[in-house]
Structure 1
Amino acid sequence: MPNELLLADLALPSAVYGVHGAPGLTQWRSLASGTGLRGPYEAVEWACVPPGGLSGEHLHSRTEEVYVLLTGEGEALLNGRPQPVRAGEVILTGLGATHGLRNTGPDALSWLTIEIPAPRTVRLAHSLRKDATPMPLPDGKATIINLQHEKDVDPRCVLQGPLNRIRLLRLAPGQSEQLPSHGTEHTVFVLAGEATATAHSREVPIRKGMAVTTSGGESLCITAATEGFEAVCASFEILRRHHEGELAP
C-alpha cells in the first residue's frame, strides 16, 4: 500500500441505535480505520449523543480505547465507578477495564474514539500455535486526564499498545508544526481554525471538524492559516512483524 493522506469530515454521520446495549441514538462517523493504515491496529471515530444519551457500559476484552471529549459534559463509568467528565478531557481505558459514558448536560456530548487492539491480542492473532490458550484478562486500568491542562499526554501510563502520544496542538497564525515519520503514523482532528496539511504525496486544506491521517509513516507538516489553529494529535508507532510471528517496533 503506498503512503498517502487520509481525509475525513463529519458530513453525513450514521445514526446508530443501541450502542453497547444502551437505548437511544448515537451519531457515528469513521475517520480512519485499519484498512487504510499501515498499522492494522488503529480505528479513529467520532461519536455524539444528545442530552440524556448513553454509550453503554462494556468490558474491553480485546482492545484498548481512548475517548477525547470534544463538546458537552457527562458521567463516565470506569470500572463501575461514576466520574464527571467534560469537553477537553481524555478517558484512557486499558485491556480488562470497563467503561460507559452518559450525557448529563444540556447540550450534545461528542468525542473521538481511538481504538487499538492490545499487544497480546495482536500476538495471538499472529501466533503460529493453533492451540494457544488465552491468558486471563488483567485487572484493567482506566483514568481521566485533562488535556486542556496537560497539553501533551503519554497514554502508556494506562495503555500498552502502539499509541504513544496524545497532545493538544495549538498554532499561531502562519506557524507550522512538523510531524515526523520515523515509524510513526499521526491522526489530527481539527478543533478550531484552518490550516494546510502538507506531505510528500499531496497538500490539502483542513478546517474544524476534519481529520487528516498519515498512512505508512509519512511525515506531515501543518501550517496554520490567518486565524490560528487548534487540533488533537494522536501518534502511533508502526509495528513490523518478525518472521517468528512476534511484533516489534
Structure 2
Amino acid sequence: MPAYLSLRAVVLIAARDEGATIAAVVQAAGKRVPRVVVVADHCVDATAALARSSGAEVWERSTGKPGKARALREAWARLLQDGAWTHLVLMDGDGQHDPAEIPALLAAAAGGGLVVGSRAPFGPPMPWLRRWTNWAMSLLVSWRWRRRVPDSQCGFRVAPRRLVELGQWTAQRFEIESEMIREAIRLGMDVRPVPVACVYARGARCSHIQWLEDVPRWVRWMWKAERLKAEG
C-alpha cells in the first residue's frame, strides 16, 4: 500500500466567487480525498451552494475583511479542534490546480515536511506578469532562507498538522504562501518541491491578486520578517 494512503488528509479550499469552477474542483478533489472543506470568503455568487451540492463541507465567511490568509487562518483554527486529520491539502478553487495531482503531493508529504507545488516558471500558460513576479519572489525566498523553493507562491501544497498548529501566523492575504515556508523552516521541517501543472480553466475569473497592492505588501512583510529574525 502506498505510504500516502496512511495519511488522514483534508482538502481545504479558500474560494471567493469561484462559481464557474468550484463544482468541478470539489468533485475531482473528492475522488482523491474523502473530506473537502471550502471556505466561501465573502462570496456574492453561488460558490457556496455549488460547493455544497458537489459534496464539500462549506464554511461561509462574511464578517471581517476578505483575504486568502484570513480565510485560511480562520479555517485552520476551526480544523485544529478536530483531531482526526494529519495533513491539509491546500488548493485554489479556480481550476488552476489539478486534483489528479493530489496523490503525488501526498506521496511526497509521507516523507515529512511541507510539500509545495512547483509550476514550470517560464512555460505556458501562465501570464507573463505573474510568471516574472513568481520567479522573483521565489528567488528571494530561496536566497534569504537558504532553501531551494522553485515556486514559493504556488498555493497547491500539503501542510502537516504540526506546521498548522505551531506556526506563528501574521499574514493577511497572499503572503501566506511565503509565511508557510518560513515557518516550516523555523520549525526544522523540510520543504519539498513537487512538479505540478499550471491550468487556466475556461470561464475562470481573473486572479484576486492586486498587483499594485499585494506585491508591495509582500515586500513589506518580507522586510519585517527579516528584521524580526535579526532581532531574535
State the TM-score bracket (shorter-chain normalisation): under 0.3
Bigger Rg, structure 1 or 2: 1
Which structure shows the higher strand fraction?
1
TM-score (norm 2): 0.24
TM-score (norm 1): 0.23
Which fold has the larger relative contact order, with Cα–Cα distance below 8 Å and residues 6 or more apart in sequence? 2
Which structure shows the higher helix fraction?
2
